[in-house]
Amino acid sequence: MIKDLFIRKTLAELEEQADSKHNGLKRHLSALNLTLLGIGCIIGAGIFVLTGTAAALHAGPGIALSFVISAFGCLLAGLCYAEFASMIPVSGSAYTYGYATMGEFIAWIIGWDLILEYLFGSATVAVGWSGYVTSFFADFGLVIPPSMCQSPFIFDHTGWSLSGSIINFPAIFIIAIMTTLLVIGIKESAKFNNIIVMVKVVVILLFIGFGISHIDIANWSPFIPENTGSFGHFGWSGVLTGAAVVFFAYIGFDAVSTTSQEAINPKRDVPIGILVSLLVCTILYIAVSLVLTGIVNYKDLNVPAPIALAINNAGTSLIWLRPIIKIGAIAGLSSVVLVLLLGQSRVFFTMASDGLLWKSFAKTHSKFKTPHITTIVTGGVAAFFAGLFPIGLLGELVSIGTLLAFIIVCVGILILRKSEPDAPRAFKTPWVPFVPILGALVCFAQMAALPRDTWFRLFGWMAIGFVIYFFYGRKHSHARQRRKDKRE
């Protein structure tokens, strides 16, 4: 019985599954589309919201080093992702890779973990989108009542409390729009994302270019503020905790691998999309964090729109940039919601195709050729959480889920090199076993720096997943059924 929990899907079975004639998905995405999907997902709440919060509460100007640490962990994991993606051109990301290396039960754990990452990720970003939209409208005298644009619940170090609000309607609205777009088609979604990515990259470059001349070097001193006496509150431990918090900002690159079955040449283009999007965004993140903390003292950055605050502090010479920054943030966060919902629906689709989730989730629309049922379910659940819960609580759940998935992918490369040493690889992770081992260690260090309550929520989420697997998924597993047929 225990042995059956670790049934693996062979590379040949995965290749057959990738055949577009059998999976119902269309191949529309080029290397450029995939790179822009990655950039579209990475540049979002991390750079427009969490940068200021992490600087104010944890790292000070040293937040730039936090981004370097997170980027290093992501690079190591990204190199492992790229090898998997070049070998296994199937939707499902780390879930599929785990199925090929560590077996069904571990694959389920990863898949359920990815659902946590993408589902709560899209809800988190939608809450950030709501904040920028509300602020943008207020600049023109259009005030959305707080009761309709904020979470009804507040969660902080004192526990839960009520805010007096009813629902965060703008957050629900953006999820509904992006869900509709994804149902219509992946090609149309990619075109929309490409345009949005161009807009927000231009906005970020404008902030960096015009903001440099307004940097006050005194705001960088001390670059790493002295620790307050508790772990994670400034000092080097604060830089590490800051890295764990802003890690949320990097989750987009792994979403690229969830679209392998819709890529034109996945073995070549998916690794390109993963690594190039990660490189571009790392450079932009470090530059923005340095300019931001140079214009505004880090103590004042714990606000919903830190970049807008920096523009205000720069004086009247940059006031013209404020509405442009907000438009870029709104556009940028829109594309992040799009890509996260895309990744979530493809993970659902792949798990259902394997029999581990209900078969209706594996259906594609007769006209649009998209997994419409999984997309609608994903959008509905994400809208529920976005409408009711605060951004901080959701963001921590996303970070710990993502870090766990990255650790398993890094370990998976070590196993795959042993189990399939001669399998063709269009891309090979360099310096194995050094890169995957270090990647797993860096990611675990960031997990360890997250609050204890976040770990408890992760265990609770996993417990729900185990119930679903043992009462449904294990009984309906296609891989298990194939093994049973062979025995008979």
pLDDT in tens, the chain (488 residues): 566 677 887 766 766 665 544 445 566 677 787 788 778 777 776 777 778 888 988 899 999 999 998 888 888 888 888 788 777 766 556 787 788 778 898 889 888 888 887 888 888 888 888 888 888 888 888 888 988 888 887 765 566 677 778 899 999 999 999 998 888 865 666 677 678 778 888 888 999 999 999 999 999 999 999 998 888 889 998 998 888 878 777 776 666 766 666 677 777 777 788 888 888 888 998 999 999 999 999 998 877 678 878 887 887 888 888 888 888 888 878 878 887 888 788 788 888 888 898 887 778 777 767 788 888 888 899 999 888 887 666 767 777 888 888 898 899 899 888 888 887 777 788 898 999 999 999 889 888 877 788 888 889 999 999 999 999 998 889 888 877 766 66
The pLDDT score that the predictor gives to residue 91 is 59
Comparing C-alpha atoms, which of 335, 394, 351 is closest to residue 117? 394
Whole-prediction pTM: 0.78
CA–CA distance, 361 with 67 (Å, rounded to integer) = 37
Comparing C-alpha atoms, which of 193, 222, 157 is closest to residue 38? 193
CA angle 333, 204, 30 (to 5 degrees): 65
